[in-house]
Amino acid sequence: MDIFTPIDINGTRVKNRVVLPPVVNFGWSDSDGMVSSKHVAHYERIAKGGAGLDIVEATCVNPEGRIFSYQLGIWDDRHIEGLKKIAEGIKRNGATALIQLHHAGLTTRKAVAEKAYGPSADPENERSASLTKEQIGELVGNFVSAANRACKAGFDGVELHGAHGYLLNQFASSAINVRTDEYGGSYENRLRMARQVVQGIKDVTSASFIIGYRMAGCSPTLNDGIEVAKLLESYGVHYLHVSHGGEKGVNPVVPDGFEYNHVVYMGTEVKKHVDIPVMVVNQIKTPERANKLLQEGLADLVAIGRDMLTDPDWVTKAQKGEKINLCIDCQPRCKRYTKPESCPLAEY
C-alpha cells in the first residue's frame, strides 16, 4: 500500500490517499462570505494536480461565528451557487470534494460579533460568554443546515472543524469547557454537541454523504484525544483528521526515533484505537515520508498542506518521480496568513 492506493470512505472510492487539508485563502472572499473566481480556479488546480481528496477551507456556518470578516460562508442558501462551482471543479478532475464546516466560538473577533460565545466564558476574554442550551441547539441547527447546503452544492461530504481551539474543540476540551450541565463534565457530555451535529447531518443527507471530523489529538492531552476519537467513531463519523488543539492543547513528547512531529504522532496514536480511516497531517512534506506512514500502517491517508500549495502537481510529480517545489517554511509564520499571493512560491 502506498499513497496511490485508492481508499473507500463511507462507500465513496477516493482515487488515492493524498489529501489537500483545509487552508484558508485570506482575502479571497467578501464580507458576505461569497465564493470568488479565485477560489474556483484554486481548488480546480489542486484537483488537476492529482490530490485524491480536496477539503475546502474553513467555511463558516453562522456569520457571528467567523474568525475574521472575509471568511468563506455557508450560512445562507445564497452561498450554494458559488460553492457548487468549487465542487464541480474538483469533481471534474476525478477528486473527492469535501468542505470544512467551521465556527470559531470563543475566538470570534470583535469585528464580526460583539460577543464571543463558547461552552464557558473565557476568563481572559471580557467579550466572551457561555452559550445557553437554546443557543447550542441553534448552533447545531446551523451546522446541519450548512451540511445540507454542502450536499446541495454537490460536495461528497463535510469535515467538521473540531480542532485548533475552535467551537467544537472548545466543547471537547476540559481545559476550556467547565459547564456543569449535560454539555460539560464527562467526555460524552463534552461531545454532546458534536454528536448532535453528526446525527443531525445524517438525518438530512443521504447515507453516502461523508462526515469527517478534524479533531485535536490533544483535548487537552493525547489521552483525552484518544477518548474523543473513540466516541466520535461510535457516533458514526466516517474518518478522523488528527491535528492539534490550539493554545490550550498539551503537546505530547514524541518518542525517540519517530521521524515526524508531535501532530503526526498524535494521529498515529489515535489510529491504534479506532477502525475508521485516520488522516495525519503537519510537515509530512515529501512523497517518501508520506509513503512510509502508510506502508508502516501508521495512518490511512496523508494530508499535504503547504507543500501542495507551493506545488499543486505534488501528486503527479510523485507519480513520475519528478522534483517537487517544496514549501520553504517562511518564518515567523506562513505568508499565506496575510494572503495567498504573498507566498513566495505561489503560482498566482
Site map (CB under 6 A) of ligand FMN, residues 232-251, x = contact: -----------x--------
CA distances from 120 to 111, 127, 224, 294 (A): 21, 12, 19, 39
Q: How many residues bind ligand FMN (CB under 6 A)?
A: 23
CB of 207 to ligand FMN, least distance (A): 26
CB of 319 to ligand FMN, least distance (A): 19
Pull the grid cell for residue 243.
Answer: 491535528
- Put residue 138 in one of left, alpha, beta given phi > 0 → left and psi -120 to 50 → alpha: alpha
Contact call for residue 286 and ligand FMN (CB under 6 A): no
Among candidate residues 304, 228, 236, 322, the one with its CA nearest the CA of residue 264: 304
Site map (CB under 6 A) of ligand FMN, residues 121-160, x = contact: ----------------------------------------
Contact call for residue 310 and ligand FMN (CB under 6 A): no
First to last CA, the chain: 34
CA distances from 10 to 95, 181, 236 (A): 15, 33, 10
**Residue 43: its H or E element:** helix 37-48
Contact call for residue 336 and ligand FMN (CB under 6 A): yes
Three-state SS for 60? strand
Minimum CB distance to ligand FMN smaller for 227 or for 307: 307
User: Which residue is catalytic, options 43, 70, 117, 166?
Assistant: 166
Q: Phi and psi dihedrals of 161, rounded to 5?
A: -85, 100
Which amino acid type is present at position 344?
A: P
> Of residues 189, 199, 283, 325, which one binds ligand FMN by CB under 6 A?
283
Pull the grid cell for residue 228.
Answer: 474523543
Minimum CB distance to ligand FMN smaller for 3 or for 304: 304
Residues shown for the chain: 348
Q: Which of residues 42-101 bind ligand FMN (CB under 6 A)?
A: 57-58, 100
Measured CA to CA, the distance from residue 179 to residue 92 in angstroms comes to 46
Minimum CB distance to ligand FMN smaller for 87 or for 121: 87
Indicate if 235 belongs to the active site: no
Measured CA to CA, the distance from residue 31 to residue 109 in angstroms comes to 14
Q: Are 217 and 266 in contact (CB under 8 A)?
A: yes
Site map (CB under 6 A) of ligand FMN, residues 188-227, x = contact: --------------------------x-------------
Site map (CB under 6 A) of ligand FMN, residues 1-40, x = contact: --------------------xxxx----------------
CB of 223 to ligand FMN, least distance (A): 22
Judged by CB under 6 A, which stretch of 10-18, 33-41, 43-51, 280-288 contacts ligand FMN? Answer: 280-288
Contact call for residue 282 and ligand FMN (CB under 6 A): yes
Contact call for residue 271 and ligand FMN (CB under 6 A): no
CB of 184 to ligand FMN, least distance (A): 24
Residues 6+ apart with CB under 8 A from 2: 17, 291, 294, 295
**Residue 294: its H or E element:** helix 287-295
Pull the grid cell for residue 45.
Answer: 488546480
CB of 21 to ligand FMN, least distance (A): 4
Residue 303 β-bridge partners: 19, 281
Q: Which residues bind ligand FMN (CB under 6 A)?
A: 21-24, 57-58, 100, 161, 163-164, 214, 243, 281-284, 304-307, 334, 336-337
Which residues participate in catalysis according to the annotation?
166
